[in-house]
Amino acid sequence: MRREDLLERMDAIGRSVAACDGTLLLLALGSIGLETDRLDDYSDLDFFLIVEDGQKARFIDELDWLEVAPLAYQFQNTKDGHKVMYADGIYGEFAVFELHEMASIAYTPGRIIWQRDEALETFATPKISIQPTAAAYCYEEALTNLYVGLLRERRGERLAGFELIQVAAVTNVLKANGEASDPFNPTRRVEVQRPEMIVFLEQAVLGYGRSVEAAEAILVYIAERHPVNATLKQEIERLLRA
């Protein structure tokens, strides 16, 4: 029932905002948006509420429009919106934008739940397109992540080294392998959509205290696919042996 519960909750929020003055459009994103085939027991709500100019604060400061079921938790995590949880466990994240802000916001295309005017349909598609980053750039970023991460590791800053090597460098390698299913987070759904990367991940994400081993595997992976500057490679290998 989770899938149906999420869809119904999104529709209920749409009915609620339709009854409020100052609202223009409710846009569902991600798996509750145009990708409802992905909805499962582990999905949540992700949406934008677009309002008239001058109305943003009202819908961020007062969440009565969200109370289509009892709210158990709310946390304003950005200037634009909140993270919330209903008493029945349905979780959601949302942002509120005024019409004039939409031209400068990057997002993936969404599904219109409700709109006050058909002319607003244009906002279902972002005005700013998200371009994939060139593979060479991503590999170079990953190489510098390895170098600085190993400096941190050898200094004894193992957590900082872990973050640069097993998170930042790995993320950049994923970016280098083409457009991700989620342009904001290339780690999302990688196991399903890029199963060929699992062997790499098993070697590159080893956990706290094993960043040197991980860095060596990442360096080998990159060197097989991208020319590595000789001096930078020499310094990374020196730190691997230190």
- Average pLDDT of the segment spanning 150-177: 95
pLDDT in tens, 49-78: 999 999 999 999 999 999 999 999 999 999
What does the pLDDT read at residue 145?
A: 97
pLDDT at residue 130 above 80? Answer: no
What does the pLDDT read at residue 163?
A: 97
pLDDT at residue 87 above 70? Answer: yes
What does the pLDDT read at residue 181?
A: 60
Tell me the CA distances in angstroms from 218 to 44, 105, 158, 165, one per residue in order. 33, 34, 17, 8
- Average pLDDT of the segment spanning 212-233: 97
pLDDT in tens, 168-199: 999 999 989 876 666 677 777 788 888 888 99
What does the pLDDT read at residue 179?
A: 62
Choose the weakest-confidence range: 16-30, 107-121, 139-153, 159-173. 107-121
What does the pLDDT read at residue 88?
A: 95
pLDDT at residue 28 above 90? Answer: yes
What is the percentage of the chain residues whose pLDDT exceeds 90?
75
What does the pLDDT read at residue 4?
A: 93
pTM here is 0.78
- Average pLDDT of the segment spanning 12-38: 95
